[in-house]
Amino acid sequence: MSSEPLLRARGVHRRFRTGPTVVHALRGVSFDVAAGCMVALVGRSGSGKTTLLNVIGGLDRPDAGTVHVDGADVTALDEDGLSRLRREKVSYVFQSFGLIPVLSAAENVAAPLRLARVAAAERERRVELLLELVGLADHARQRPAELSGGQQQRVAIARALAASPRLLIADEPTGQLDAETGLSVMALLRGVVESEGVTALVSTHDPVMMALADRVIRIHDGHLHDEAAGQLGEPVPDAG
């Protein structure tokens, strides 16, 4: 594990205005995540989990504070810079899988590689490897509708790993899966973190996932409470 954290958030504030009402989703959130870690982000609905993931992934901009991913200041990047960040360093796994229905499992996995203009041979090799990794080598030519929900989420994970990101963000990845399938997906995530050396930040309600994580960060009303593998931990002091 590198001494430099892969993810560094400092004093992140995010407010939403709904008419006259202002909702503070994040209130000065600061934390670091070391490379190669699997972090479970837990909290009740509306606690700010998704907002935090959005800000970290560059899908949303904070009102204040900074987020660095692999040394890049996400909050300072323009649209092209964010596109490049998402292409090269950050990837996502959606609760609803987000696969392209008419493309086969292999073609879905290859999508980020196409955007990164990876050569066809290298692309095919990488896709084959990833499908092997998620246990779907025999389903490469099948379309999402021909796969079960768990298999679709495995394809989504393979796609997220395709461009060899440094950070994988997954928001409730087992939300649409039954318990057994969800467990296998979580185990897969745990496995790929280790095998691919990727850092994973996963929001979840699933206690099994929390058990699989290297670290659990609880978020409540926009504040963080850090606990390492089942123990309460101190949040990183606000740099600001």
Partner 1 sequence: MNRWLTHRWPAPHWPSVRGRGRTDAGALLLTAAVIAVVALLAAAVPALLRAAADDAVQDTVRRAGNESHLLVHADWERDAGPTGGRLRISRLADDVDDLRARATYTLGPDLDTALLPSIAVVNSPILRITDGNLPRTVQLTYLADDLDGPDVTWIAGNAPGPAIPERSIEIPYHGPPWPMQVGLSEADAAALQVGPGDRIPAEDDHGRDKDIRISGIYRPADSTDPAWRLAPALLRPVPGADGPGTTRVAALLSRESLPDARLAFDQDQLRRTVHFAPAPDALTWEATTTLASQVVKLKASSGSSAARDGSLKWESQLDTVLRDARTQISAAFTQAAVLLAAVLTATVLVLLLAADLLVRRRTPALSAARQRGAALPDLGAELIIESTVVSLSAAAVGLALAHTTAPGASWTWTIPVVLAGAVAGPTFGTLAAARASRDRHQPANPAARRWILTTGRLRRAAVETAVLIAAVAAVGTLHQRGLLPDTANGDTGELTGDLILPISAVALSALAGALVVLRLLPVGLRIVLRQALRSRRPLAVFGAARAATTAARALPLLVLVSATALASFALVVGATITRGLDDGAWHTTGADARLDISSDVQDATPALAERIAAAPGIEQVVAAQITDSAPLFTESTLLTPRLVIVDAAAFGRLLATTPLPDAPALSQLTAPGPDPAAVPALVRSSTGDLHTGTQLQLSLDNGPTIRLTAVGTAPPVGGAGDVVIVDAAALAEAGLPAVPNTIWVTGPGTAQAVSHSDVPADIVLRTDILQAQRVAPLTAGTLRLAWTTAAVLLALGLLGLTLAAAAGAQERWQTLTRLRTLGLRPRDARWVAAGELLPPVVVAAVCGPLLGALLAHLTLGPLELQLLTGQAADPATVLPWWLLGLTGVALVAAATAVVPVEAALRRHDRLSEVLRSGE
Residue ranges in contact with partner 1 by CB under 8 A: 50-51, 53-54, 57, 59-60, 79-80, 83-84, 86-88, 91-92, 94-98, 100-103, 107, 111-112, 114-117, 120, 145-150, 152, 159, 163, 171-172, 176, 178, 181
Alpha carbon distance 112, 125 (integer Å) = 14
Nearer Cβ to partner 1, position 30 or 54? 54
Could you tell me which of 154, 163, 166 has the C-alpha nearest to residue 97? 154
Nearer Cβ to partner 1, position 175 or 233? 175
Alpha carbon distance 97, 200 (integer Å) = 17
Nearer Cβ to partner 1, position 22 or 145? 145
CB of 160 to partner 1, least distance (A): 9
Q: Is 17 helix (H, G, I), strand (E, B) or coil?
A: strand
CB of 50 to partner 1, least distance (A): 6
* Rounded to 5°, angle at Cα 37 from 212 and 187: 30
CB of 64 to partner 1, least distance (A): 17
Alpha carbon distance 227, 89 (integer Å) = 26
- Total count of residues recorded for the chain: 240
Alpha carbon distance 64, 142 (integer Å) = 45
CB of 74 to partner 1, least distance (A): 13
Nearer Cβ to partner 1, position 96 or 195? 96
